[in-house]
Chain A
Amino acid sequence: MTTQANPFPGGIHPAYRKDLTSGCESQPMPVPKLLVIPLSQHLGAPAKVLVKKGDAVKAGQLIAEPGGFISAAVHASSSGKVTAIGPVELPNGQMGDAVTIETDGAHEWARMEPISDPLAADPKVLVERVKAAGIVGMGGATFPTHVKLTPPADSPVDWVLLNGAECEPYLTADHRVMVERAERIAQGVKLVRHVMGVSRVSVGIEGNKPDAIEALRRALGDAAEVVELPVKYPQGSEKQLIYAITGRRVPPKKLPSFVGVTVFNVATVAAIADAVIDGTPLVERVVTVTGSGVNRPGNFRVPVGTRVTDLMEFAGGYREDAAQLILGGPMMGRAAASDNVPIIKGVGGVLVLATPDLKDLEYGACIRCGRCLRACPNAQNPMLLGQLIEKGLFSRIDEEKLRELVLDDCFECGSCTFVCPNRRPLVQFFQMAKGYYRSQQKRKG
């Protein structure tokens, strides 16, 4: 089956460096002594904690329930005793409450009942299960999956996409899931088709993962078509992926359901199957540990809540010149000040860069070379936006005007900053302006 993917505008070709780990089968990581499980591992309201200090918990036990419509449940990743509930540093750099569990090493499970013959079950039951399993988008945006499974009645979804692009350099976690769990993904696809009542499912995978394409084609059969995507960053961004596969363009400030599409990460779909077929909630994920600053790059199945410190110890530790710790990929990942942060549901990579790979942070004036304009996958105007924001003009010019330049639609892929010859921190400028407008809106009430 050859489907020609539509090229989105712009895009870049960073050094992918995926060969460091793409052949590394995911190894199970033993449960560490300490688990730090944040209540906010998803987009939306934090979960409401159900346990208290001193409680004994089992693996898979619900420890916090969704705190609102857009929220997700949180489970204990192993058995042990709750030793603390309080604020910790989260991978996104903010502080948030977490349940700290001292594990007992027994890893005693408390799974949910498997749903027998799920394809005959009421879709509502399956959605409830996904909600109860605390499943969120595992590609990084962590949107609660049960909400996505039930699109509003007036935005009917007729095409479901699976995102296996994994366009971030270095990361191979999704790649390994696709190769190792192709059957599980196929089961998940059937469940999603049943729940959403769609007939058309496509999987988009960048052409640099031929083994994943092969494995999924074999496992999926007629359940979904597999589309080989050109290798171009950010191919895995939602709107770019939708255009590549369906030819539909999601307008600025609109969600995919506007064009009748919903996108799930491949690992998310496997997690749906785990929850329905085995009754296992989302308490473990594959994480790529890689970069010039680690001794042994590899892929690991990590219990949610494992501190990066412990993961790194198991994964072989840092090299002596390790200088920067990035949670996620090099394009959109966040540099952490310390490795005392937990792996959460949306973190698919731990990238450690050695001193010589550190980026030069000095930047100069815009020379109007236009590279950012050609790199922007949204065909926006990072050049002008960057200049306005740098000069502080964003607080003086009409907010509507600036939004016309579609600051809202920038998803901070970093392509503009990647190609800027004067190393202007454009993404950071945009984040600044977005923060400013958010605070303005709050003040307005």
Chain B
Amino acid sequence: MEPRSFTVAYAPHVHDGSSARRIMWTVFLALVPAAAVSIYAFGLDALRVLALSTALCVAMEWAALLIMKRDPKACLDGSAALTGFLLGLTLPSGLSNGIIVVGAFVAIIVAKQVFGGLGHNPFNPALTSRVFLLIAFPKQLTTWPVPRGLEEIKEYMGLAVTRTTDAVTSATPLGAIKEHAQKAMPNIQLNDLFFGVHTPGSIGEISALALLVGAAFLLYKRIITWHIPVATLVTVAVLGGLTHLANPGKYADPVFHLFAGGLFIGAFFMATDYVTAPVWPLGKIIYGFGIGLLTMVIRLWGGYPEGISFAILLMNAVTPLLDRYTVPTPFGSRAASAKAAPEKAAHEKAAHEKAAPEKAGGES
């Protein structure tokens, strides 16, 4: 047999088959139940916002890549679509198309591509865009259409119902609490917060159940770890509980705080964004704690009824610091300091300097 030649490549020569694209689309899939509930609740308007936001973000990504002479096909890697989908899920269903265009531009161009694209953005693009829109278009961003089943809803909220041209809008449960404190409480059913089909709010936040199903899927698929969401939720529950105990007439109970607003979508889907969250377990727990703390501070004493978006963005800024100061000890390092025998180390170095095997794998 004659010698023959072969393709060369670097080791390892096998791979687990995972891909960034698959991860992105898995997260996308995990958000579908929440989107489905919202389309059921808000009708085709919700579908319009979601589809438009997703499509525009992909289009912006494509344009940005084209302008920067990168491979424009990368716009289909799922990250832009996911950003768009997440952005849509944080918006009210009645939002006008023009504002969505601005939102997609801010998310993809300003918050992501300007910083270098996928993997390089310090702040979550979808949330950056949402907060930008909230500040730029405060009225439109807080006009919450009431879900279908209008007659029930009037009774349900019993307050702040205003009739606009063709849709009826209302305060979100958190908004109602902010404005009317505990007087609003009897009108808010935990059931509704859980299933979401009767609750006004951002498209994606209304159904705790749908979000939990998606979150369970991500945890099962090991796309996310428990650290960030659990730390966030525990912090919110503890702070909600303490304040409620201190003044039950003024502050809502912790269960309400857990299930109301964007806490679940924020804790499970936004705070866990790989690029902008810390990577080490301890860092993740501190990060989750910070998000829970800031969320509650804003909810209880801040100017906005909901604070999760601000909380996550603020904690995004802390991520590099957390990454730096929560690095675990490399394997065996503690043993080194415990067993620091300087003279022995020096001697060993002398004896084995030349001998030090460069390759310890397999066997030596």
A402 part of interface (Cβ distance < 8 Å): no
A331 part of interface (Cβ distance < 8 Å): yes
Which listed segment binds B: A140-148, A185-193, A280-288?
A: A140-148
Q: List 29 A-B contacts (CB under 8 A).
A: A14-B14, A43-B359, A69-B354, A141-B359, A141-B360, A154-B347, A155-B351, A251-B333, A255-B352, A255-B356, A259-B335, A263-B363, A265-B363, A268-B363, A309-B3, A317-B1, A318-B4, A323-B7, A334-B11, A337-B8, A357-B14, A364-B77, A367-B79, A368-B277, A378-B332, A379-B331, A381-B327, A414-B11, A418-B15
Cα of A310 to Cα of B1 in the assembled complex, Å: 7
Q: Could you tell me if B13 and A367 are in contact, using CB atoms closer than 8 angstroms?
A: no
Which residue of chain A lies nearest to B362 when distances are taken between CB atoms in the complex? A140
A245 part of interface (Cβ distance < 8 Å): no
Candidates A15, A358, A368, A409; contact of B330 at CB < 8 Å: A409
Contacts of B355 in A (CB 8 A): 43-44, 70, 143, 147, 255
Q: Could you tell me if A373 and B279 are in contact, using CB atoms closer than 8 angstroms?
A: yes
B364 part of interface (Cβ distance < 8 Å): yes
Q: Could you tell me if B347 and A152 are in contact, using CB atoms closer than 8 angstroms?
A: yes
Cα of A240 to Cα of B361 in the assembled complex, Å: 9
Contact with B along A293-328 (1 / 0, CB 8 A): 000000000000001011011000110001111101
Q: Could you tell me if B13 and A379 are in contact, using CB atoms closer than 8 angstroms?
A: no
Give the interface centre of B13, B117, B335 by most chain A CB atoms within 10 Å.
Answer: B13
- List residues of B (1-29) whose CB comes within 8 Å of A's CBs: 1-16, 18-20, 22-23
B32 part of interface (Cβ distance < 8 Å): no
A169 vs chain B, min Cβ distance (A): 7
Cα of A411 to Cα of B120 in the assembled complex, Å: 28
Interface residues on chain B, size class: 35 or more
- List residues of A (366-409) whose CB comes within 8 Å of B's CBs: 366-371, 373, 377-381, 383-384, 406, 409
B339 part of interface (Cβ distance < 8 Å): yes
Q: Do A338 and B5 form a contact, CB below 8 Å, given A252-B330, A330-B12? A: yes
- List residues of B (270-306) whose CB comes within 8 Å of A's CBs: 274-275, 277, 279-280
Cα of A331 to Cα of B15 in the assembled complex, Å: 9
Q: Could you list which residues of chain B lie within 8 angstroms of chain A, going by C-beta atoms?
A: 1-16, 18-20, 22-23, 74, 77, 79, 116-120, 225, 274-275, 277, 279-280, 323, 327-336, 339, 344-345, 347-348, 351-352, 354-364
Q: Could you tell me if B1 and A312 are in contact, using CB atoms closer than 8 angstroms?
A: yes
Contacts of B116 in A (CB 8 A): 365
Which listed segment binds B: A114-122, A125-133, A213-221, A421-429?
A: A421-429
Q: Could you tell me if B364 and A137 are in contact, using CB atoms closer than 8 angstroms?
A: yes
Candidates A307, A371, A383; contact of B3 at CB < 8 Å: A307
Which residue of chain B lies nearest to A338 when distances are taken between CB atoms in the complex? B5
A112 part of interface (Cβ distance < 8 Å): no
Cα of A134 to Cα of B10 in the assembled complex, Å: 30
Cα of A180 to Cα of B275 in the assembled complex, Å: 51
A91 part of interface (Cβ distance < 8 Å): no
Candidates B18, B323, B333, B358; contact of A421 at CB < 8 Å: B18
Cα of A331 to Cα of B12 in the assembled complex, Å: 4
Q: Could you tell me if B3 and A338 are in contact, using CB atoms closer than 8 angstroms?
A: yes
Q: Could you tell me if A422 and B19 are in contact, using CB atoms closer than 8 angstroms?
A: yes
- List residues of A (28-82) whose CB comes within 8 Å of B's CBs: 43-44, 69-70
Which listed segment binds B: A102-110, A195-203, A230-238?
A: A230-238
Cα of A47 to Cα of B2 in the assembled complex, Å: 29
Contacts of B344 in A (CB 8 A): 154-155, 258
Contacts of A141 in B (CB 8 A): 357, 359-364
Cα of A147 to Cα of B14 in the assembled complex, Å: 34
Cα of A329 to Cα of B336 in the assembled complex, Å: 31
Instruction: Give chain A's interface secondary structure class.
Output: loop
Q: Could you tell me if B331 and A249 are in contact, using CB atoms closer than 8 angstroms?
A: yes
A229 part of interface (Cβ distance < 8 Å): no
Contacts of B8 in A (CB 8 A): 324, 335-337
A168 part of interface (Cβ distance < 8 Å): yes
B51 vs chain A, min Cβ distance (A): 25
A101 part of interface (Cβ distance < 8 Å): no
Q: Could you tell me if A309 and B335 are in contact, using CB atoms closer than 8 angstroms?
A: no
Contacts of B16 in A (CB 8 A): 12, 14, 418-419
Cα of A322 to Cα of B336 in the assembled complex, Å: 47
Q: Could you tell me if B10 and A428 are in contact, using CB atoms closer than 8 angstroms?
A: yes
Q: Could you tell me if B279 and A258 are in contact, using CB atoms closer than 8 angstroms?
A: no
Contact with B along A325-351 (1 / 0, CB 8 A): 110111111111111100000001001
Contacts of B7 in A (CB 8 A): 323-324, 335, 358
Cα of A252 to Cα of B10 in the assembled complex, Å: 25
A441 vs chain B, min Cβ distance (A): 12
Q: Could you tell me if A418 and B360 are in contact, using CB atoms closer than 8 angstroms?
A: no
Top 3 A-B residue pairs of the complex, sorted by shortest distance between their CB atoms: A139-B363, A251-B336, A140-B362
Q: Do A254 and B336 form a contact, CB below 8 Å, given A70-B355, A141-B360, A310-B1? A: yes
Cα of A413 to Cα of B361 in the assembled complex, Å: 6
A194 part of interface (Cβ distance < 8 Å): no
Q: Could you tell me if A9 and B331 are in contact, using CB atoms closer than 8 angstroms?
A: yes
- List residues of A (10-32) whose CB comes within 8 Å of B's CBs: 12, 14-15
Which residue of chain B lies nearest to A147 when distances are taken between CB atoms in the complex? B355
Cα of A421 to Cα of B7 in the assembled complex, Å: 23
11 additional contacts, CB 8 Å, given A251-B336, A351-B13?
Answer: A14-B16, A43-B359, A139-B363, A152-B348, A168-B362, A255-B348, A332-B359, A332-B361, A339-B4, A367-B20, A367-B274
A426 vs chain B, min Cβ distance (A): 10
Contacts of A444 in B (CB 8 A): none
Cα of A359 to Cα of B12 in the assembled complex, Å: 9
Cα of A333 to Cα of B359 in the assembled complex, Å: 12
Q: Could you tell me if B363 and A332 are in contact, using CB atoms closer than 8 angstroms?
A: no
Which residue of chain A lies nearest to B79 when distances are taken between CB atoms in the complex? A367
Q: Could you tell me if A239 and B14 are in contact, using CB atoms closer than 8 angstroms?
A: no
Candidates A154, A238, A335, A369; contact of B11 at CB < 8 Å: A335
Candidates A361, A368, A420; contact of B274 at CB < 8 Å: A368
Q: Could you tell me if B279 and A368 are in contact, using CB atoms closer than 8 angstroms?
A: yes
Q: Could you tell me if B20 and A378 are in contact, using CB atoms closer than 8 angstroms?
A: no
Which residue of chain A lies nearest to B329 when distances are taken between CB atoms in the complex? A379
Cα of A369 to Cα of B329 in the assembled complex, Å: 20
Contacts of B358 in A (CB 8 A): 43
A290 part of interface (Cβ distance < 8 Å): no
Cα of A348 to Cα of B329 in the assembled complex, Å: 34
